[in-house]
Structure 1
Amino acid sequence: MGSIRITKQFTFETGHALFGYDGKCRNVHGHSYKLSVTVIGTPITDTDHVKLGMVIDFGDLKTIVKEEVVDKFDHATVFNKNTPHIELAKELSKRGHNVILADYQPTSENMVIDFASKIRARLPKNIQLHSLKLQETETSFAEWFAEDN
């Protein structure tokens, strides 16, 4: 039996600001992100296995992505840890807001690299992460492909 790719899609709301940027995105703002996660593997052929015919149970993939990405980033504000907005970040955190201080500039490109690393680490050994697509707006997105990395 050949390899099959399956995809699960997720949505979450996240705010961010791009420090040092020369456009509007230097201001704190938010996006309704759409994340498509595609994995590749061989469907289970063991007729006694409860997940016969599946590459991975969509529910299992959902659990991984929710725990590693969606639950952490949904309704959070992401700043580069070196941002001049650090005082704002500290104040928001003190007031109970979900603030993430990332080791990177929180662009879609860097976020999708971060997400790929987190998801890959949690997948079963027989399942490979094929690609991620992180859509920031209706017309703008970043993609990560395993074959490119």
Structure 2
Amino acid sequence: MKMKMSKIRITKQFNFETGHALYGYDGKCKNVHGHSYKLSVTVIGTPITDNTNVKWGMVIDFSDLKKIVKEEVVDVFDHAIVFNKNTPHINLAMNMREEGHNVILADYQPTSENMVIDFAEKIKKRLPKTIKLFSLRLQETDSSCAEWFASDNEA
């Protein structure tokens, strides 16, 4: 049977724990708190048709996608605390770093929306040229998430 060249989306899910505080926010999230994030990464491509390739039939090996996302996002953000680098919590952040805590000082307000944009840029840079990042979904709580779609962000 000759298979038609089809675009296929592959999704891998990741979990990590991250703390943050929203600088200048007018609600409870101005305080340091944390979330059990769930990140779904969807890429799109055409399955490999070369039957001599060990990855024959795959768009991307799930383990290759896992390696990229772990290195760029999960291993960086898991059990870290993220502050906007202009936060008034800067003294707290520096004290925490001195005590050996993983503190990220971001160029952005660490909302789910901005985090998912950051993650998209980091993941896109690492994907093979034949694979495109299709979407990201960052679940912050059981009822709240932010989504990034390549189709919404094309020039």
Shorter-chain TM band: over 0.9
Q: Residue 104 of structure 2 aligns with which residue?
A: 100
SS at match of 2:141: coil
- Structure 2 matches for 1:37-52, cutoff 5 A? 37-52=41-56
CA–CA separation in structure 2 for the residues paired with 1:91 and 1:62 = 33
Gaps of 5+ in 2: none
Q: Residue 66 of structure 1 aligns with which residue?
A: 70
Gaps of 5+ in 1: none
CA–CA separation in structure 1 for the residues paired with 2:147 and 2:92 = 30
Q: Select which of 111, 116, 119 maps to 1:115.
A: 119
Letter in 2 for 1:72: V
CA–CA separation in structure 2 for the residues paired with 1:2 and 1:25 = 44
Q: Number of paired residues?
A: 149
TM-score, with length taken from structure 2? 0.96
Matched, 1:12 2:12: no
Matched, 1:57 2:74: no
Q: What percent of counterpart residues are identical?
A: 79
Q: Residue 137 of structure 2 aligns with which residue?
A: 133
TM-score, with length taken from structure 1? 1.00
Matched, 1:86 2:90: yes
SS at match of 1:60: helix
